Structure 1
């Protein structure tokens, strides 16, 4: 998201930064970056994207780059499918089945079997469906809706509204770094009165990766229904929703999935919940017989009941074309490169940026790191503005955080080295 948000809570401060800019490490780091790119099995994937020459783009955690196939596909949708076939594209073409068809293309990237993921609407709308649907799935008598205290603001807004509508009490909680080995011992987080839990897989400010397997197990052991927001992890790292027994999940497609600005989000409904999932938005597109136009609502079978109104076909089919960039690519290989890129960036920043000028707020352990690095510094807004002016695009979060997102499908190690070197020049 590109909005400016309220000041984040205090981060764990760790001194960071090494020698002066362009110190003796510079030639070695530059040469190493070139060597890492030469050995990178994913390097050829960059050609699947359209990127401005000379630009270092490290803001894929807000808006992914343009996949090369999207422009031609969008032109065909507009000129032929809409312009020539007109309404026949609903019945004779690929429009009607797009939400579940594209959902099944996303499914392997989030560890889901087919038939559980549907694409459409925004993340916020899908989150509302999931929250109210989860409250209706929860055991009777439970009273609390737990939400990560550091959640993305919109998630908090939607959760508060859903709590009011369903009679639950919204409770912000601090997610611990360590979950007990026995999920039943996690009473300090989830209790017998917990109905629904909403968590972000990766914290949008800090890049902290939450322990999805352990937290899911703990929530389910407590009898709660758990929802994961995957906006900052889908397409960046393995999620494995089915393997870990996640109940519901939502996520956007314009970040690491590169679907384009405002591209439709996805909703995951585990197969075991689909029969009982009661959407608070029972639109005609989710009806068992959408063209019967009956006065009563009967939900469709499966995840299709997560559909609401007429799909946004232009954005939907642009997203479908964008997913071609994933052909032959595994999420595991992307995760391996992501960790290598972020490790190398931290190393380069330590070499190029004067000591004490920046502090990392992204956890160092791989198990706790998403695919971004956040650095805390004074005058962060002005620093990011200067970086962008020099051809290195990241973003800023108030009051003092520089965010850099690493999309392994197109980010190179030479990009990483240049970004850190440019940051060092600014502080030099």
Structure 2
């Protein structure tokens, strides 16, 4: 498989990279192309926006958490596409200090490995010819990294654009677009990043506006012409996506529970698992014949009162836990506990299946990759298994009275206090599982 692709990246967060990505996805889709989106790094929210923009499921690719076999397996989901667009995270070269499965988690790792030329989105605010120095640095820092050119964003005037282009022309860097400053073309945000796609008040109109704006100020033909990739060699054994932890999996899915990596759900379904969605916010109980209940992360702290009053949902969890496994990640973990304290300091009773009390009033950011060695089974994943994942939340543990689920370290190998919990058939972690970890040389 060799589908041409591009990495849409930037020198830093906040440059307008995501709106650029959505506009490109929609514009190319409007032109009749089948566009496959990917997201670099452990982002739970952007893939849903990608899907809304182009109609194809988007998947995360992560050089710290995923080995070559898994990255190739996820890349194969682009089958039948005409073009790949991958959205970078943070700055192009930003990652962690410690090396993971293939790299440090930087978008540059993926662009280099996949052969996707970088389209650098440059925020031109407050500079003119000096923007060329930034672009030149990103182009030349790693000679092995393919580089397509730049899209200038937040250009103040035609005179400003002319100066920017003059500087970039002097260092032979193509300008693929120059977008005037538009304060209305932004996506709403909250404490974990963008407001979720399902919550956007008028996402279809917004994405269409992005595409129209890109058409007026970027050279879509030139951008597409830059796309390249390294083909996966014939005969390469493509491993399957991660196997399901059970056959019939009831998964909470609504505005409070949505942070589940798409490649996991796709892998579970490809392996024949039945996915049984239900909505705690609608007071729905998990399917009574489910083998496993999975509560993904999300924003339960914003809906704590509704969840506390969802007696059918909570009773269904308690019945299931008597005989079969339940696992919660981050927000789902918090809901499995005894109480959740919201931002205003109000206590809300939760499921009471774990001896855990968490507080969003005592805010502290917990962010980073995690390597976990299970001390007990997690659903169908056996004790001793090693998992790679990522943690991002602002909640604090006030009380934790159960046995730890795992020995957890960060990307530098330092121990992490949030070990997860286990009680009977119920487990929970603050980290979101991305992939099993197989050390080099292991079977």
TM-score, structure 1 as length reference: 0.26
Q: Which has the higher helix share?
A: 1
TM-score computed with the length of structure 2 as normaliser? 0.26
Q: Which has the higher contact order (CA 8 A, sep 6+)?
A: 1
More strand by share: 2
